[in-house]
Structure 1
């Protein structure tokens, strides 16, 4: 059996009891380590699970799936995913590959940022399409996310923005010379995301991500040192929420008064928050 096991959001103890039982008996245990990362090191997981954990990076998952699935028709293989197994399409594809090999599969769900973002007090019923924000470069500033946000804005819905992470990314200059050298890991911050959204708005000029739009930034959701901050995109572009992982929510204009009261406690400046809510968001 091939098991895709959600680990939750924070640390080694977020795994379900059922998932832990499978991990302890599995022939091999893999940890997918590029669509998201846990807030603890591999060694901490191994100590808690009492098992060796094999890191499955992007190259292994996309190019060596046969190696991971080998023997899964005869023994149990555990594939650990940060958050929930189906939060990323990569894992859906992996299950399809297993089925094509007539390997039985089972999914063990867990909390992901898609549900964990409810810690902001924003109703999950009021979220629209989730979008991803990648690191801009001097000559590459993709804005495809903007149209999805625009659709959410038209419906008054909140937008969860997932922020870029770069883990085991090859240095392009070295690669061009025939050498593989990996860049240090990079994790986008709420401040970087907010600044890039404002930058896109300056190009588009449609008022979708203007600097006075209200948003909420979150960091390390589910961990003991979880951080939440609310304010305008301009204010969040100056916010420091500490170490990764970060996410951002652009607040939709159908925001309910109860949502507003909850989020307001995290506001950088409560008066500014109240004034903008009364002007642009309040529902009569």
Structure 2
């Protein structure tokens, strides 16, 4: 049996009781922390709570050479990830590989950043469109710095459909954790080239350390919000579409948005 367990958002205590019992009853425990990271804990603290050795897998172990799942043919194996399990396509692929190998699977869900963003900001969950990720810029073979325009296009598409955009921020071993500030600067850079007005007079919401005792939640116009200090990682950004009056009130009262946004809302 291969059991996929979502660990939640911040530390070792976010795991569900069902998930904790499954880990403690497992023969082997594997985890990956390249798609998401629990910033409020360490591997040592996880192992202390579980009473089990946690084997950390690399991206290659999960995506290219997942031979470790063969252990699940004869043993109870658990696979741990931050947030909720199956949110990443990589995890779905693993489950399909297990099924093809005749291995039974089970899912134990954890808190997801997708729902936490709604709770922290007051934005309504059914109004979100396609999500996107802002990667760190990279240098081309010709020495040019390349900034992805895909997130900008996703925001534009969602705005045309009057839907909010959730934007995940890059985690890179060398470049580190992208911040809200860096993400907004990159969106403004694309706006500067394309001049389509997507980021003009636009409200954004930045959230840091969701699930921690002291998350940072701040909304404001992009040009001002990019100067706000959100503190340590992990960060995430939302670009809302037109706001319902309850959403606008929530952003003002819960996220410190400019009060004038309450006078330009949808019913």
Q: How does 1:253-272 map to 2 (within 5 A)?
A: 253=242, 255-266=243-254
Q: Which stretches of structure 1, 4 residues or more, deviate above 2 A after TM superposition?
A: 265-268, 273-278
Q: How does 1:59-70 map to 2 (within 5 A)?
A: 59-66=60-67, 68-70=68-70
User: Aligned partners of 2:128 and 2:193: how far apart in 1?
Assistant: 25
1:95 aligns with 2:88: no
Q: How does 1:173-252 map to 2 (within 5 A)?
A: 183=174, 186-210=176-200, 212-252=201-241
Match for residue 55 of structure 2?
A: 54
Map Cα deviations across residues 199-247 of structure 1 (whole Å, 9 max, x no partner): 111112111123x200110011111121101101111211111111000
Gapped regions of structure 1 (runs ≥ 5): 168-182
3-state secondary structure, aligned to 1:265: helix
Map Cα deviations across residues 43-74 of structure 1 (whole Å, 9 max, x no partner): 111111111111112121122201x2022011
Give the length in aligned residue pairs. Answer: 260
Map Cα deviations across residues 3-48 of structure 1 (whole Å, 9 max, x no partner): 1101011111111111111101111111111001002111111111
Match for residue 259 of structure 2?
A: 274
Give 1:84 deviation, angstroms: 0.7
Give 1:114 deviation, angstroms: 1.1
Give 1:277 deviation, angstroms: 5.3
User: Aligned partners of 1:129 and 1:88: how far apart in 2?
Assistant: 14
Match for residue 165 of structure 2?
A: 159
User: Aligned partners of 2:77 and 2:23: how far apart in 1?
Assistant: 8
Whether the aligned pair in 1 keeps the contact of 2:122 and 2:254 (CA below 8 Å) is no
Give 1:132 deviation, angstroms: 0.6
Match for residue 177 of structure 1?
A: none
Q: Flag the 1:20–1:267 CA change in 2: closer, same or farther, 3 A.
A: closer
Q: Flag the 1:70–1:226 CA change in 2: closer, same or farther, 3 A.
A: same
Give 1:275 deviation, angstroms: 3.3
TM-score (ref. length: structure 2): 0.93
Match for residue 29 of structure 1?
A: 29
3-state secondary structure, aligned to 2:4: strand
Match for residue 132 of structure 1?
A: 133
1:117 aligns with 2:117: yes
3-state secondary structure, aligned to 1:43: helix
TM-score (ref. length: structure 1): 0.87
